[in-house]
């Protein structure tokens, strides 16, 4: 069998403060294959976003590890984890996370320039055209609608052709109709590029569009 693109291995996450220890995640263990789509679902406060952050290597588990494309994330130092993310992972957030002082084109060019791509402008322009924003290349985020900003964020995430796309409540800041259009586009791009998609959502309609649902209940896995 081919090696999974993501392997979450007995991940625990606890935090301790003056009131004691809180277990956020308890023995989370699953694998995802290349091109698979998975939704992480659960009640507010169940640990969904913490799990996504650990899968990304942005947060560290108390116990356990994550393998991304065969690499043990937590055997790497922070710089090497960041380099692996830059090569393999794209991100889409609820709050878009666009840089306000850069145009739509410059926002999408940024990860390509950081990777040393000489065709950054051409590739970014083509991807913005693909998401329907060819007429918005020179616009700054503040003059774009929420749906347009999220399409810029999708273009930025997919332009590097990541092996894995991680999305945290990608439609949470959008109205229903705009959110539906953004999700249609995300799934289309995902199929075209053969990316593994992992998204956190409270929307059961979005979750049902994924091949897998990973349900977190009080920090434990209850896969549905």
**Segment 15-63, tens digit of pLDDT:** 998 888 889 999 999 999 999 999 999 988 889 999 999 999 999 999 9
Which has the closest alpha carbon to 130: 196, 185, 177, 91?
Answer: 185
Q: Residue 53 sits in which domain range?
A: 6-221
Q: Does 128 reside within a domain?
A: yes
Q: Is residue 73 part of a domain?
A: yes
Which CATH number is 109's domain given?
Answer: 3.40.50.300
The pLDDT of residue 223 is 54
Note whether residue 1 is domain-resident.
Answer: no
Q: Is 122 helix (H, G, I), strand (E, B) or coil?
A: helix
Mean pLDDT computed over 188-198: 93
**What pLDDT does residue 153 have?**
94
How many distinct structural domains can be found in the chain? 1
pLDDT in tens, 103-142: 999 999 999 998 888 999 999 999 999 999 999 999 999 9
pLDDT in tens, 167-186: 999 888 888 898 899 999 99
- What's the rounded Cα separation, in Å, for the pair 106 and 140? 9
In a domain, 134, yes or no: yes
Quick check: is 180 in a domain?
yes
Specify the pLDDT at position 191. 92
Cβ atoms of residues 85 and 69 within 8 Å? no
Q: Is the separation of the CB atoms in 197 and 167 below 8 Å?
A: yes
Q: Report the distance separating Cα 198 and Cα 137, nearest Å.
A: 28
Domain contains 102? yes
Closest-CA residue to 109 (of 146, 159, 162, 164): 159
What would the two tokens of residue 81 be? Answer: 């984890």
Exposure on the CB side of residue 197, measured as CA atoms within 13 A: 31
Residue 12 lies in a domain: yes
Q: How many Å from the N-terminal Cα to the C-terminal Cα in the chain? A: 23
Q: How many residues does the chain have?
A: 224
pLDDT (tens digit, 9 = 90+) per residue, 64-83? 999 999 999 999 999 999 99
41 pairs with which residues across the strands?
A: 215
Distance between CA atoms of residues 50 and 140, nearest Å? 31
> What is the model's pLDDT at position 93?
86
Picking from 57, 125, 60, 120, the residue whose alpha carbon sits closest to that of residue 91 is 57
Q: What is the pLDDT of residue 3?
A: 85
């Amino acid at each position: 069998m081919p090696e999974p693109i993501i392997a979450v291995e007995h991940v625990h996450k606890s935090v301790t403060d003056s009131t004691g220890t809180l277990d956020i995640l308890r023995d989370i263990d699953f694998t995802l294959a290349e091109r698979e789509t998975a939704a992480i679902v659960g009640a507010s406060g169940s640990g969904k976003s913490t799990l996504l952050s650990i899968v990304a290597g942005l947060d560290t588990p108390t116990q356990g590890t994550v393998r991304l494309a065969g690499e043990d994330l937590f055997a790497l130092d922070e710089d090497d984890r960041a380099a692996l993310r830059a090569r393999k992972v794209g991100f889409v957030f609820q709050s878009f996370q666009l840089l306000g002082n850069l145009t739509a084109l410059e926002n999408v060019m940024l990860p390509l320039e950081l990777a040393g791509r000489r065709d950054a402008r051409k590739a970014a322009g083509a991807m913005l055209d693909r998401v329907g924003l060819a007429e918005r290349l020179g616009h700054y985020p503040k003059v774009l609608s929420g749906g347009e900003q999220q399409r810029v964020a999708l273009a930025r995430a997919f332009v590097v052709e990541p092996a894995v796309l991680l999305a945290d409540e990608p439609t949470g800041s959008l109205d229903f109709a705009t959110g539906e259009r953004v999700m249609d586009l995300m799934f289309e791009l995902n199929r075209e590029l053969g990316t593994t998609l992992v998204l956190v959502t409270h929307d059961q309609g979005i979750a049902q569009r994924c091949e897998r649902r990973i349900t977190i209940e009080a920090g434990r896995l209850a896969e549905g």
